[in-house]
Amino acid sequence: MKRRKLIAGNWKMNGSHKANAELVAAIAARAPELGLVEILVCPPAVYLESVGRHIGNAAVALGAQNLCEQAAPGAFTGELHGAMLAEVGCRYVIVGHSERRALYGEDDSRVAQKFLAAQACGLTPILCVGETLEQRQSGQTEDVLELQLGKVILAAGIQAFARAVIAYEPVWAIGTGHAATPAQAHEAHAFLRGQLRGHDAKIADSTRVLYGGSVKADNAAVLFAGEDVDGGLIGGASLKAADFLAICVAAQARAAG
């Protein structure tokens, strides 16, 4: 099955009104020639609405970096409900990013709740999974991926992945400049797709699995070459228009080839 490539920019806690406007203008200007790729930007929540206005009618989707796991709005100071994110134009939301797992104590069960909360509001969750360096070095990579993905499959059911994206993000590759080798990425992606296939072949064929972790303009093409790699979740390189667009061009070339 042909899965549309997705290149998602995770801006993390970066940006300003001026920088965002310039970045979005540059991406939107090139979007028409990148039609084989779905382009997504995920700015900090405070900028979602203004970034949505900058996007206007351009073929660039808007996503959030996090949401509250609570089913209903209410007394949860500092949190954001999925319906609010949808109301300001989000179509996607990242859940379970390793920074949230490591720095904000999000465990697999909370990540699963966030996944459910996103879908309940019509948002497509981008579920991040990935092993630490220690886990990789001790041969636990597949066990970790199976557990992280399995918890969400158990909570949401396999059919929920018809409206979800998975991002394989080895923790040791995020923000370090040391991307996984294409072989490591392809192996992990094939494993994740195999996990889906164990539940439902159609879902396995249709679910997009992104690679994230130090994707740059110069390694995007080789990372995207694997048949189970459906694009990328891009951190640092999503903040510079030229770098982000070069990654989108690599995905477009892969999709066309």
What six digits make up the tokens of 217? 């303009």
Q: From the CB of 201, what's the least distance to ligand PEP, in Å? A: 29
CA 231 to chain centre: 9
Contact between 66 and ligand PEP per CB under 6 A: no
Name the nearest CA neighbour of 15 among 56, 39, 46, 53: 46
Per-residue tokens: 145:
């991926």
| Cβ within 8 Å of residue 144, ≥6 positions away | 129, 130, 131, 132, 135
- 186 included as an active-site residue: no
Q: Of 80 and 126, which has the nearer Cβ to ligand PEP?
A: 126
Question: Per CB under 6 A, which of residues 185..214 are in contact with ligand PEP?
Answer: 212-214
149 contacts ligand PEP (rule: CB under 6 A): no
Tokens 């400049």 sit on residue: 177
| Among the listed residues 5, 6, 7, 10, the single contact to ligand PEP using CB under 6 A | 10
Query: Closest distance between ligand PEP and the C-beta of residue 215, in Å?
Result: 5
Q: In whole angstroms, what is the distance from residue 94 CA to residue 100 CA?
A: 10
44 binds ligand PEP (CB under 6 A): no
Under the criterion CB under 6 A, does residue 226 sit at the interface with ligand PEP? no
- Residue with structure tokens 């009618």? 57
Annotation marks residue 97 as catalytic: yes
| Interface with ligand PEP (CB under 6 A) | 10, 169, 174-175, 212-215, 233-237
What residues are annotated to the active site? 97, 169
